[in-house]
Amino acid sequence: MVYIGIDVGGTGVQVGVVNAQGNILAKDSIPTGVGRPYQEMIRDMADCTRSALAKAGLGEDQVQSVGVGIPGIADAKTGKVIFCTNLGWRDIPLRETFRQYMDKPVHIDNDATVAGLAESVAGVSAGTDSSVFMTLGTGVGGGIVIHGKVWSGFHGVGSEIGHMILELDGEPCTCGNRGCLERYCSATAIIRMARELVAAHPDSMILALAGGNPEKINAKIVFDAAREEDPMGKKVFRRYVCYLSQAIASIMQFLDPEIIVLGGGVSKAGAFLLDAVRQEVPKYLLFKNMPHARIELARLGPDAGIIGAAMLGL
């Protein structure tokens, strides 16, 4: 039997046929086509599933279940999408609608949550009892796995790590609050800190790498400047590591998972970031001499969404 994983994004939908070990046997994709009636979008997902199955040389009868990861809030119990800003969806009966086109068990959850599940089935946290996955991108998303199972909270609104408070009365956040963790730990935060510094230090390598245009600064440019020992690059990097490490330490003090996995665009900095964070985190731990969560980089890359969605059916 195989498991279908559907990764729904704002621009494209990726569908994969996945085995029980988390290996992708075949893939296909379609444009999301935001703005169309949801029934059409979901019908196309079912069609794309059939085409991916054909590529794998398999039939519908070999499908155990279908899992869907969405960039929003899902009610895993009812199979409804509660809301999903990027898709313009609100209260969409995804499971019910999908089953009109393909009658299989349908599981849904948040995309960061399923990416975390993927890592815990077939990635860096495979075989662990409990993990917290952090996607460090434009924002900060999260996925919690406890005793091998996804924990999205009792009401399905948990693992929103990016909106834990890291600073009382801190930086204003897009959510309306102040001091949310993602204002300090996202790529957006790196860019903000760099822009502030280069305004006063226009001779920084950061600005040179951005072609002299502060609007073109991105997280990679800042970290590249830091690797080259540029003072402003190093300053932003050190500050970012300090913030991220305090966020990680907070998660350890509260949930104490077996492993914390860093994914998303910022994690592509690899060992340069990982080594610094591993060194910094213990400074903030209450029990400095006790064993604590390993910190690792995500391993599955962009396929994590497909694999994790499929694994919702395990």
Residues near its own copies (CB under 8 A): 73, 82, 129-130, 142, 144, 146, 151-161, 163-168, 170, 175, 177, 179, 184, 243, 246-247, 249-258, 284, 286-287, 290-293
Q: Are 94 and 79 in contact (CB under 8 A)?
A: yes
Q: DSSP letter for 76, please.
A: T
Question: Minimum Å distance from CB 255 to its own copies?
Answer: 5
Nearer to its own copies, 271 or 290 (CB): 290
Helices 111-122, 304-311: axis angle to 10 degrees equals 80
CA gap 10, 33 in Å, rounded: 8
Nearer to its own copies, 108 or 221 (CB): 108
Burial 92-106 (b: 16+ CB within 10 A, else e): bbbbebbbebbebeb
Q: Which amino acid is at 19?
A: N
Nearer to its own copies, 165 or 314 (CB): 165
Nearer to its own copies, 34 or 255 (CB): 255
Nearer to its own copies, 179 or 265 (CB): 179
CA gap 82, 152 in Å, rounded: 13
Question: Minimum Å distance from CB 93 to its own copies?
Answer: 17
Question: Minimum Å distance from CB 216 to its own copies?
Answer: 28
Closest CA to 28 of 17, 20, 38: 17
Question: Minimum Å distance from CB 173 to its own copies?
Answer: 9
DSSP notation for 221-254: HHHHHHHTT-HHHHHHHHHHHHHHHHHHHHHHHH
Nearer to its own copies, 208 or 255 (CB): 255
Question: Minimum Å distance from CB 55 to its own copies?
Answer: 38
Closest CA to 120 of 263, 259, 285: 259
Question: Minimum Å distance from CB 130 to its own copies?
Answer: 5
